[in-house]
Structure 1
């Protein structure tokens, strides 16, 4: 695959993991990324771009992206957003604003696609904040998106979300959570502080992307667990009410991470959805 931007191997060991430098908002940021290919397949067809959760990174997906590649026969791009993994951390005085997910969807991801020559329609697969970013990108750039899979996305701020994030912030300060997360981020305080800081900011309570959901026209599969501790099922149900081509999957015995709690069901659903909605050349 042709790469338009210079790249180098990421500073942490990882097979096929690289870093690319992107211009963003008047500065240069490095983004860690990894290509995956399906076992026993040619990987032809649209690339699946994975967008991680609010505390995620390439490494935190573990083997789920590879399992999706193998099930669908498609290649994948997995990357860590700025502030996460081994991408450029937040600056010391940087505080995210309520439009932080819009910036990722409308600015960072398009720059990454240009740098890596991903101009053809892509599949988007996002979890939590990454699911919201996938929705925003698909709504803004429908001609270059084949479809989207949203795992436990957010379209509004609920009390349950704030309560659970406040508990996570307390655990980060008082338990071994910080140490556990540090395995996945070069600067763990950058990752956690950016995420918890904006979600717990009173100014974020009015954040809502239902208008953007109404502009969603690509095939979309929204998946959520009935026991999600970070949001009610109203999150994906509102996407279905507003979007034009949205299928829902509500999973029992499943919390905020469907790809971990019900991995087999999710992989089968993703495979069937992508096969059903594969564009004909």
Structure 2
């Protein structure tokens, strides 16, 4: 089934423009659910590569991939970021985007930061969200998170990591990297804690993490599932790190396709 793609700039109000890429199947089906992808802390539309294409083809769903404020072609951000920026993304900006695009039924697929945003949005929009899939989501900052970010800061200073990121982020690279590590490593007024949102999630949830993820302890998955309850299922992928959709693509795609088929 052919998929056509369109890039859009969505006016969100308050001077914020979000960059969105929409993939639709050629047949007209207004009831088809949409897979909505939420990128990681240093991500963008392009960094998903062809994962949205494959999942659109294998599930029969339409697809929306977007860039949060500060990323890609979306409006820029200023520093410092608020401690609760993930909450604002999930409670304000993503629901507003879904409303702007008139999406009726969505599956949220979020990686890392995007997974945390997806959980908050699922709690905030029970009528629209059919299911939520997270890869390496965080509901608190653990010792592996801190150590992993500190190691990345050193690699940014001493290796070609900056050049690799600059291929996607250009002149924004330093700003985005600072926004990431400064927000997660600084002393906070209150510890990060997204647990209060979890019991409000009414849809099924698939909580995925690589067993070798250097940015989060396995308890992140256990605690997310505990907070959501019986609607949540954990999935640990062996010999897999922080990016399951590339490091264990076959198993990740199979799991997401099965999840979508079972829940719409």
Same fold (TM over 0.5): yes
Kindly report which structure 2 residues correspond to 1:127-142, keeping only aligned pairs within 5 A, or say none. Answer: 127-142=111-126
Partner of 2:12: 22
Partner of 2:219: 234
Question: How far apart are the structure 2 equivalents of 1:223 and 1:41?
Answer: 32
Question: How far apart are the structure 2 equivalents of 1:122 and 1:98?
Answer: 27
Structure 2: state its 5+ residue gaps: none
**8 Å CA contact 1:89, 1:190 repeated in 2:** no
Shift of 1:137: 0.4
Question: How far apart are the structure 1 equivalents of 2:176 and 2:23?
Answer: 24
Please give the per-residue CA displacement for 1:141-169, whole angstroms capped at 9, x wherever unaligned. 11111110111110111011011111111
RMSD value, Cα: 1.7
Kindly report which structure 2 residues correspond to 1:1-281, keeping only aligned pairs within 5 A, or say none. Answer: 16-23=6-13, 27-37=14-24, 45-91=32-78, 94-118=79-103, 120-186=104-170, 187-203=172-188, 206-244=191-229, 245-278=231-264
Alignment coverage as a number of residue pairs: 257
> Per residue, is there more helix in 1 or in 2?
2
Scaled by the length of structure 2, the TM-score of the pair is 0.92
**8 Å CA contact 1:17, 1:34 repeated in 2:** yes
Partner of 1:12: none
Shift of 1:114: 2.1
**8 Å CA contact 1:89, 1:191 repeated in 2:** no
Structure 1: state its 5+ residue gaps: 1-14
Shift of 1:264: 0.6
Shift of 1:190: 2.5
**8 Å CA contact 2:43, 2:71 repeated in 1:** yes
Runs of 4+ in structure 1 displaced over 2 angstroms? 15-18, 40-44
Please give the per-residue CA displacement for 1:162-200, whole angstroms capped at 9, x wherever unaligned. 111111112222322111111212411232121111011
**8 Å CA contact 1:41, 1:73 repeated in 2:** no
Which secondary structure does the structure 2 equivalent of 1:188 belong to?
helix
Please give the per-residue CA displacement for 1:88-143, whole angstroms capped at 9, x wherever unaligned. 1213xx2112110001111111221222222x121100000100000000011111
Which secondary structure does the structure 2 equivalent of 1:34 belong to?
strand
**8 Å CA contact 1:122, 1:144 repeated in 2:** yes
